[in-house]
């Protein structure tokens, strides 16, 4: 599996360098080359995750190394889908370095136990439906995180572009970043997709809890912080739809929401609880 991860890392590094070259030179060449490089990395990355799944005998999100690799994989998948609709040269400049760092982290983090934690040991004896629900739950939540990453990046690009316009400084950043309407549209689309996926992820997680031990809620730090994250994005969605919030206000809220996502992912590990693996 190591050779697959190294190969994927190499492709992603090539994507990072090429995206910076395209961004810096404003080349008129199509984005097909960049998408091909990233797609090759994604295919190899997918193979590495599948091999790890086969070797470990369980869905590969048990330890920090596996989680980092899976989140990076989800971000690439979401980027490839978004890039078919939006030809934004700045987006990969923000996303691909993050993917590279996540995959690199999955290779250099200390090795932890590959054995199933207590939370998942029951999966061996439970009914097939419960075995399927857990991977579905985790995949939905992590893909919602990937969408929120793009929402965050869109918010950052919007604020930078707005600052350039207000300062009447039409320099390199202004010429290379997408228009304000495009930033807002990408952010809103990703916000909607992420919120729907997170909602489905929370619902399947509650269902899995009940199927596993008969309890819908455990007051686990991860559960509480996931609920807080959902409420934050519900607040943004509500006022976006009912009050017509757009632009700068939503950009700042999207950034704040992503901070909550990071705290949910990392903070729950610090607080402990049965959701913490590895």
User: Would the pLDDT of 130 be above 50?
Assistant: yes
Percent of the chain topping pLDDT 90: 38
Which H or E run contains 161? helix 128-166
Burial, 181: exposed, middle or buried (Cβ in 10 Å; 0-12, 13-18, 19+)? exposed
Of 9-18, 45-54, 116-125, 171-180, minimum mean pLDDT range: 116-125
Tokens found for residue 41: 């990395």
- Report the Cα 276 to chain-centroid distance in Å: 18
Tokens found for residue 175: 């010429």
DSSP 214: S
User: What residues does each domain of the chain span?
Assistant: 1-109, 127-278
User: Would the pLDDT of 91 be above 80?
Assistant: yes
How does pLDDT run across 218-271, given as a tens digit for each residue? Answer: 777 778 888 889 999 998 888 888 767 777 888 898 899 999 888 887 766 665
How does pLDDT run across 167-226, given as a tens digit for each residue? Answer: 776 666 667 788 888 888 999 999 999 999 999 999 998 888 777 777 777 777 778 888
Report the distance separating Cα 60 and Cα 51, nearest Å.
10
As a whole number of Å, the end-to-end CA separation of the chain is 19
Report the distance separating Cα 198 and Cα 175, nearest Å.
34
Of 39-48, 111-120, 261-270, minimum mean pLDDT range: 111-120
Query: Can you give the pLDDT at residue 125?
Result: 45
Report the distance separating Cα 271 and Cα 188, nearest Å.
32
User: Is the pTM here over 0.85, yes or no?
Assistant: yes
Longest Cα separation, the chain: 65
Arithmetic mean of pLDDT, 57-73 = 86
User: Would the pLDDT of 278 be above 50?
Assistant: no
């Amino acid at each position: 599996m190591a050779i697959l991860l190294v190969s994927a890392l190499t492709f992603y590094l090539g994507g990072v360098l090429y995206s910076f070259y395209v961004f810096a030179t404003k080349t008129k060449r199509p984005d097909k080359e960049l998408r091909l490089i990233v797609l090759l990395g994604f295919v190899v990355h997918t193979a590495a995750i599948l091999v790890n799944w086969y070797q470990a005998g369980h869905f590969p999100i048990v330890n920090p190394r596996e989680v980092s690799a899976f989140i990076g994989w989800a971000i690439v998948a979401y980027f490839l889908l978004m890039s078919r609709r939006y030809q934004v040269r700045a987006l990969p400049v923000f996303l691909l370095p993050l993917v590279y760092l996540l995959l690199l982290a999955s290779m250099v983090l200390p090795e932890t136990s590959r054995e199933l934690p207590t939370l998942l040991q029951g999966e061996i004896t439970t009914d097939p439906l419960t075995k399927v629900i857990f991977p579905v739950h985790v995949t939905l939540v992590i893909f919602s995180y990937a969408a929120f990453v793009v929402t965050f990046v869109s918010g950052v690009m919007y604020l930078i572009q707005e600052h350039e316009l207000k300062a009447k400084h039409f320099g390199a950043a202004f010429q290379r970043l997408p228009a304000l309407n495009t930033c807002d549209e990408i952010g809103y689309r990703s916000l909607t997709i992420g919120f729907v996926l997170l909602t489905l992820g929370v619902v399947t997680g509650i269902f899995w809890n009940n199927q596993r031990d008969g309890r819908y809620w455990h007051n686990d730090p991860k559960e509480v912080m996931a609920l807080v994250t959902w409420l934050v994005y519900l607040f943004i969605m509500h006022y976006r739809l009912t009050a017509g919030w757009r632009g700068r206000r939503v950009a700042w809220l999207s950034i704040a929401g992503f901070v909550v996502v990071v705290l949910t992912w990392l903070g729950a590990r610090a607080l402990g609880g049965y959701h913490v693996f590895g």
